């Protein structure tokens, strides 16, 4: 006697997730184990006059950061080095991420590239991308007839 099994769409998603995890474990692994890349958390906001990108980069020096506009993208890259590489074996737990990182953000063509500025203070990078005058909203008066 055959038994009917109720169809569960989540069972298929669970199977797919398992296969994807296996794929990434195989592709992104080294002899030491999985590649532990990292990237800084970032917020992007917009107001009437500019876009602002804010990224958390604790423990980095401003000279370790690289920031440039290229082909309609803002590229943030750098490297956070492990402070005491010779004492790494003495640590019980290492939860912070280290190594090279790169983040890319699409930049609208309405950004005034000549006035972009960046500030780095207390481990937070803030990039101001001002909009060109043509991109700013303009109030239009409505005349009565």
Q: What is the DSSP code (8-state) at residue 131?
A: B
Residue extents of the structural domains in the chain: 7-36, 38-133
Mean of all residue pLDDT scores within the chain: 82
Tell me the residue length of the chain: 145
> DSSP labels for 19-74?
HHHHHHHHHTEETTEE-------EEEEE-SSEEEEEEE-TT--GGGEEEEEETTEE
How does residue 87 score in pLDDT terms, banded at 50, 70 and 90? low
Rounded (to 5) percent helix, strand, coil in the chain: 25, 35, 40
Give the architecture (CATH level 2) of 38-133: Sandwich (2.60)
pLDDT in tens, 101-139: 889 999 988 899 999 999 999 999 999 999 988 766 778
128, 136, 71, 73: which is closest to 110 by C-alpha?
A: 136
46 pairs with which residues across the strands?
Answer: 51
Q: What is the pLDDT of residue 32?
A: 46
**pLDDT of residue 34 exceeding 60:** no
């Amino acid at each position: 006697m055959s038994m009917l099994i109720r169809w569960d769409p989540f069972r298929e998603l669970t199977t797919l997730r398992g296969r994807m995890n296996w794929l990434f474990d195989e592709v992104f692994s080294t002899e030491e184990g999985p590649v532990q890349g990292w990237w800084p958390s970032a917020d992007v906001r917009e107001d009437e006059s500019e876009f602002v990108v804010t990224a958390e980069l604790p423990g980095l020096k401003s000279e370790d950061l690289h920031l440039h506009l290229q082909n309609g993208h803002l590229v943030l890259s750098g490297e956070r080095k492990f402070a005491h590489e010779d004492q790494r074996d003495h640590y019980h737990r290492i939860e912070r991420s280290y190594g090279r990182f790169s983040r890319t953000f699409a930049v609208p063509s309405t950004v005034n590239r000549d006035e972009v500025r960046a500030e780095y203070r207390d481990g937070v990078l803030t990039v101001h991308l001002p909009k060109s005058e043509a991109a700013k909203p303009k109030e239009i008066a409505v005349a009565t007839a």
